[in-house]
Structure 1
């Protein structure tokens, strides 16, 4: 997120205040900032301050992550907002619609996994042809039998 021309205001929030109000650790706020998802301004003493609208932005990030949206997709969605503005209800509706297909696909994959999980528990093979968990569609067949996905494994 590019830094917008914002000046320090008396009601801006410290990282601790944002963390307390949003339920997100200060380290997560710093991470979100490094990832370009939120922005802070600095005091004369180089301390971070956040405008109050960052609370809605953090809520947007957390809810999006909670439904399985990647940070890369969240960043891309936030980048579509004019001048780094905080998402509105209408923005959420539009952006969440764009994620619906990927979420439906993930749900279907998880349901298939749930329905076949009892076939996999304890096998330890990780490349068994019938393993829908670690080798869907037998994509590892070309590497032969055994645990090819383990560190130092063949072919991967």
Structure 2
């Protein structure tokens, strides 16, 4: 690791995190990470930035916005996550999983349906009505079996 006095060069942070330097600069602009200064023209970071970037990546993968992720840190940079917010996000993910499962099951049915055309398939017609009513997420998996 290119380290100078406990600092890590932006190129090394980019390489180890898998994020382009432009994303690191954007995160710094948004206050999600902070550089320790510059060595020449290059920003340098505390090695702990990699853990913080992993936390940001986990938050993004879980569907949190950058603003929500920023709120998970105190002004001093310590992690302080609202557990109620985590439960709310978990509930949101459950709804998304249910919706995606229903869509997957519908696609699987449409792929093997014996009807001459999809529009002649009663199950496919139910899927269309559900989608038109915005109720696809609420359909039980059994609807598509």
TM-score, structure 1 normalization: 0.58
Residue 91 of structure 2 corresponds to 104
Unaligned stretches of 5+ residues in structure 2: 111-117, 120-127, 136-145
Residue 131 of structure 1 corresponds to 131
Deviates more, 1:56-65 or 1:39-48: 39-48
Residue 84 of structure 1 corresponds to 77
- Which structure has the greater CA radius of gyration? 2
Aligned equivalents of 1:48, 1:105: Cα separation in 2: 37
Unaligned stretches of 5+ residues in structure 1: 1-8, 138-156
Higher strand share: 2
Aligned equivalents of 2:25, 2:44: Cα separation in 1: 11
RMSD: 3.2
The SS at the match of 2:130 is: coil
Aligned equivalents of 2:39, 2:18: Cα separation in 1: 27
Deviates more, 1:41-50 or 1:13-22: 41-50
Question: After TM superposition, where is structure 1 displaced by more than 3 Å over at least 4 residues in a row?
Answer: 94-97
